[in-house]
Every structure is written in C-alpha cells, then in structure tokens.
Amino acid sequence: DSKPSLIDDTITTQMRTLIDAIKKHNYAYYVLDNPILEDSEYDQLRRSLLELEEQYPELVQPDSPINQVGDVPLSAFTQVTHDVPMLSLGNVFDYDGMRSFMRRVNERLSEAQRNTEYEMELKLDGLAVSLKYQRGQFVQAVTRGDGQIGEDITQNVKTIRNLPLWLTDAADIEQLEVRGEVLMPKAGFERLNRLAQESDDKTFANPRNAAAGSLRQLDPSVAASRPLAFYAYSVNQGLPEAIKTQSAALAWLQDMGFTVSAVKVVNNPREAQAYYESVIETRDELPFEIDGMVLKVNNLALQQQLGYLSREPRWATAYKFPAETVMTRLNDIEWQV
Ligand code: NAD
C-alpha cells in the first residue's frame, strides 16, 4: 500500500515545520547577519530535524537544509564559484564524542596509518574567507556563501590591517589560495556597539555578526573603519610540495606574513582533552571570541585520503565549548545549593 500513513503525515509535518524554521534562521544569520535565536537554540532545531531524518530516512524532504552549508549569498556583490568547495565542520561536544571522531578516522586508515597525530587550533568565531594571491600579489577575497558560490568582497578585505597584500616569498607561486577567518576582536566590537548606541544606530548581536556585517558593506570605507583582523588557517592551492603537515603549513603561512592562531600537535584523545581544557581556562583572556577547538588530522596526505562527507571533511571536527548560558545556569545551581 503506497498511501502515506497517519504517522508518516505527522512526521512529515514536523519535518516541514523544522525545515521552514531552519531556513528562516539561516537567512537571518548568514544573509542578514542578524540572528533571532541563540546558537544553542538553533543547533537544537537542527538536531531535532537530523534525528527525525535518521529515524525516517524515507521521509527526508528534498529541500532539507541538513547537508547545506551557509546560505545563498546576497546579490549585491559579484558571485564567484570556488575552485575548491568551502565546507563546514562536523561537531563533537564532549570527550566521548571526540574519541568517537578519532575512532571513525582510524577505521578508515590502514593499520600502519592508525593513531596518527592531530593538530588542534582555536575555533575562531568569525567568518570564513578564501583569498587568492597570484605571483605573490593579493587579487581576490570571497566569502564561503553556500559552499560552492560566494561573494567577491575583495575591496573590503583589502582594508584589513593585518592582511599581507604582497607576499615576497610567494612571487614564484602562480596561484595561492589561503583560507582563514575574518573576525572582530572583543575590544573593537564593544567600542563599535558603544558608538552605535550613542548615535542611536543598530547594534550588533555579537562580534561574529559585526564582522560579517562589516564585510558586506558596499562602501569599502565603512569596512576600513571597522576593527577587523584576518587569521589564516589553511592553504588550499599552491602549497609547496615539501610541506607535508597542517602544522608546517601554518608555520609557512606565518613566515609569509599571515597571522595564525595558537596551534598544538597531540597524539591521542587524552592529550587533546588536556589542551582543550587548558584553552577553556584561558579563553576569557583571548582578545577575540572562540567557540571551541578544531581538531585536524595533521598529515596532509592522510587528509586527502580521508576526503569529505557531504558538508564536512572526515579528517577534521569542531570540538565545541559548552554554551555559556548553560555554564551560567550550572553555576547558579551550584551557588544555590
Ligand atoms: P561552524 O562555524 O560550526 O564550523 C565551520 C566554520 O568554522 C568554518 O567555515 C570556518 O569559518 C570556521 N573556523 C574557525 N576556526 C577554524 C579553524 N581553525 N580551522 C577551520 N575552520 C575554522 O559551521 P557553520 O556551518 O559556519 O555554522 C554553524 C554555526 O552557525 C553554528 O554555531 C550555529 O549555531 C550557527 N548558526 C546560528 C544561527 C542562529 O540563528 N543563531 C543560524 C545559523 C547558524
């Protein structure tokens, strides 16, 4: 009998409601830079939809946003197709999740390759940008967009103070693609919001949205007046062949004149956990916001071998920090007890 059952109808209705809500919030966050929900509330919507899809795979809706990256860019900027798609990252939230991630990596590797080292970076809370350098000269900056097509924001990115516009040591590299995060440091964000308040302008929900909003200004002089910074975290085209690991790639980027964030190489889940916890301890002292750590298989050849799974690499994951609101609630409870 091919007639849908009552239960199928109910599940489909639930899925439709979640899809509509997620689409609406994606638009507010990625296109308008003006989120309505807290990230943890939004993540809950996604998790609810994912659970339904896992339980009822035959009811998955063709326009489900579960495997979607970001959102379709605004049309005000020239659209650019990425040479290499810009994906998202999977998430883990605790020690067990992080161990399972490493186990899944191991399962895909040969015996000799297993228990490979990981490199850990701060998960910078800004927005991903792809930069192109031709023979050492900065030529283009593009947002992630929906992962395939982004917006050309070259004129705005050019105004970022710590961005090298000319790489002396890359003059012999035909095309270099560097990716990283554009962010607004906390102090600059607070100053910007204070000024906006004083002149009755719209304030930003958080530094990430302020950075995103600044990069989408049509007038580059506005972006130039915003305190933005660029932190490089990968080389996606043009990396010299002698460089075999992610940590060496970041050291190379630093030698070229890019700012990179703290990096640590770890050998097992225990070492990863210790570093993760030590970063949580000092998180507040950092000049910018981070929402977790990123764990990456350090060996670039193994990254290539592991490849991608729909919207995320198999060789990396985000190890998210507990949501701050939850921590506050826990503290309140402890305090009340
Ligand atoms: P993500 O931010 O969780 O992870 C992928 C991104 O991490 C990359 O694109 C890159 O920009 C960034 N990143 C930072 N440091 C990095 C490093 N060292 N190496 C590699 N990448 C690094 O995924 P996403 O798909 O960009 O967005 C999901 C996030 O957006 C979630 O936190 C979600 O809660 C939030 N969101 C919120 C709403 C809302 O309504 N509040 C709506 C949509 C999305």
User: In the predicted model, is pLDDT for residue 327 greater than 80?
Assistant: no
**79-327 is a CATH 3.30.470.30 domain:** yes
Out of 23, 123, 186, 264, the active site residue is 123
Instruction: Write out the two tokens for 178.
Output: 């560097």
At 332 the pLDDT is 41
Distances (CA, A) of 121 to 215, 248, 275, 331: 24, 13, 10, 27
288-72-61-40 Cα dihedral, nearest 10 degrees: 20
210-319-295-69 Cα dihedral, nearest 10 degrees: -50
At 334 the pLDDT is 37
> Which residue among 34, 37, 39 is best mutated to probe the pocket of ligand 1, counting the most ligand atoms within 8 A of its Cβ?
39
Q: How far apart are CA 119 and CA 316, in angstroms?
A: 9
At 232 the pLDDT is 98
Q: How confident is the model over 263-284, as pLDDT tens digits?
A: 899 999 999 999 999 999 999 9
At 211 the pLDDT is 96
Binding-site residue set for NAD(+): 39-43, 88-89, 121, 144, 181, 296, 320
At 199 the pLDDT is 92
pLDDT band at 92 (very low <50, low <70, confident <90, very high): very high
User: In the predicted model, is pLDDT for residue 291 greater than 60?
Assistant: yes
Q: Does 79-327 match 6-59 at the fold level?
A: no
Closest protein CA for atom 36 of ligand 1: 39
Q: Specify the range with the lowest mean pLDDT, choosing from 38-42, 47-51, 159-163, 256-260.
A: 38-42
The separation between the first and the last C-alpha atoms of the chain, rounded to the nearest angstrom, is 57
The CATH number of domain 6-59, selected from 1.10.287.610, 3.40.50.2030, 3.90.1150.10, 3.40.50.12370? 1.10.287.610
pLDDT band at 318 (very low <50, low <70, confident <90, very high): very high
Any ligand 1 atom below 6 A from CB of 173: no
pTM score, whole prediction: 0.91
Find how far residue 176's CA is from the centre of its chain.
Answer: 21
At 1 the pLDDT is 53
CA-based angle 311:87:31, to the nearest 5? 100
Q: Specify the range with the lowest mean pLDDT, choosing from 17-26, 103-112, 210-219, 313-322.
A: 210-219
At 72 the pLDDT is 78
Any ligand 1 atom below 6 A from CB of 292: no
Three-state secondary structure call for residue 191? helix
Residue with the two structure tokens 């929906």: 146
Binding-site residue set: 39-43, 88-89, 121, 144, 181, 296, 320
Q: What is the mean pLDDT of the chain?
A: 92
Is 30 within 8 Å of 71 (Cβ atoms)? yes
Any ligand 1 atom below 6 A from CB of 43: yes
Instruction: Output the DSSP codes for 265-320.
Output: EESSHHHHHHHHHHHHHHGGGSSS-EEEEEEEESBHHHHHHH-EETTEESSEEEEE
Residue with the two structure tokens 């890019």: 258
In degrees and rounded to multiples of 5, residue 181 shows phi and psi of -115, 130
Rg (CA), the chain: 21
User: In the predicted model, is pLDDT for residue 325 greater than 60?
Assistant: no
Q: How confident is the model over 18-77, as pLDDT tens digits?
A: 999 999 999 999 988 889 998 889 989 999 999 999 999 999 999 999 999 988 777 789
What is the percent of the chain where pLDDT is above 70?
95
User: Catalytic annotation on 186?
Assistant: no
Residue spans of the domains in the chain: they are 6-59, 79-327
Could you tell me the sign of the dihedral formed by the alpha carbons of 301, 302, 306, 310, in that order? Answer: negative
Closest protein CA for atom 33 of ligand 1: 39
> Which residue among 20, 24, 25, 29 is best mutated to probe the pocket of ligand 1, counting the most ligand atoms within 8 A of its Cβ?
29
pLDDT band at 2 (very low <50, low <70, confident <90, very high): low
